[in-house]
């Protein structure tokens, strides 16, 4: 076997092993939930319907100075909560 053919076979084998290892590692990661698609998309059926009042809950202030009740925020004016990613 010539030297050129040997190098081609070594290159093909290296690419095959590297590619197989990549796909096997990715498959194992997906199986073990290391890679999650929509990992924050956790939906469940609730009992709230359109027009219902929001349940009163307590939230931590962003500046870390304590907590605030949701009912305190919308006592005198409407309150709109937006959830989502803006990146």
> pLDDT confidence of 60, banded at 50, 70, 90?
confident
Which pLDDT tens digit goes with each residue over 22-45?
Answer: 888 777 766 665 545 555 555 566
Rg of the Cα atoms in the chain? 27
Higher per-residue pLDDT: 30 or 19:
19
Are the C-beta atoms of 42 and 36 separated by less than 8 Å? no
Are the C-beta atoms of 58 and 68 separated by less than 8 Å? yes
């Amino acid at each position: 076997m010539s030297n050129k053919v040997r190098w081609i076979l070594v290159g093909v084998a290296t690419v095959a092993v590297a590619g197989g290892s990549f796909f096997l590692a990715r498959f194992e990661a997906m199986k073990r939930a290391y890679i999650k698609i929509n990992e924050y998309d956790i939906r469940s059926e609730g009992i709230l319907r359109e027009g219902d009042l929001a349940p009163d809950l307590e939230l931590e202030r962003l500046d870390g100075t304590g907590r605030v009740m949701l009912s305190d925020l919308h006592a005198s004016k409407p309150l709109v909560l937006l959830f989502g990613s803006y990146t």
